[in-house]
Amino acid sequence: MADAEIYRNYNFILEWGGQNGAYFTEIDGLSIDVETIDYREGGAAPAVRKLEGRVAYGNVVLRWGVSDNKDVWNWLMQSTRGKADRREISIILLKPYGQAEEATRWNLHNAWPCKWKGARLESLGQGVAIQTLEIAHEGLEQR
């Protein structure tokens, strides 16, 4: 087996709806869950077999600093009106050296915002106000 290069988690961009969402500070939740079905065959077979069932894709969580850019908010508002604008989203992990060379990407299919959480505000705080958006989707592929 050839040596595989291991990439760091800080060097990424997100493309959504033809736009580069480089302002996202954190992405979490890429997951696939294949349901397992217990199946016992008839006859003398003593063991229960495991079969694959339905596939579920976990929601992806995006975090970013509050700004005057309303693109994400407007996209979310479409979902609240029952008119979700489903988009193709790419999460692109970049190589850590040189130009912004792509290491790998995960493509989310038919993605739409399903949950938003506002930033925690604190009168004595000095940190960045971070908000959260949860994205539902119907498929995930890695390239």
Per-residue pLDDT reduced to its tens digit, 93-109: 999 876 679 999 999 99
Taking the C-alpha atoms of residue 114 and residue 48, their distance in angstroms, rounded to an integer, is 38
Count: domains in the chain: 1
Tokens of 102: 């792509």
Contact status, residue 83 vs residue 112, Cβ threshold 8 Å: no
Which one has a higher pLDDT value, 43 or 84? 84
User: Is 127 domain-assigned?
Assistant: yes
Tokens of 26: 């954190």
* CATH, residue 132: 2.30.110.20
pTM of the shown model: 0.86
Q: What is the pLDDT of residue 40?
A: 86
Tokens of 85: 């604008």
Structural domain span for residue 99: 12-142
User: Is 1 domain-assigned?
Assistant: no
Per-residue pLDDT reduced to its tens digit, 68-81: 989 899 999 999 99
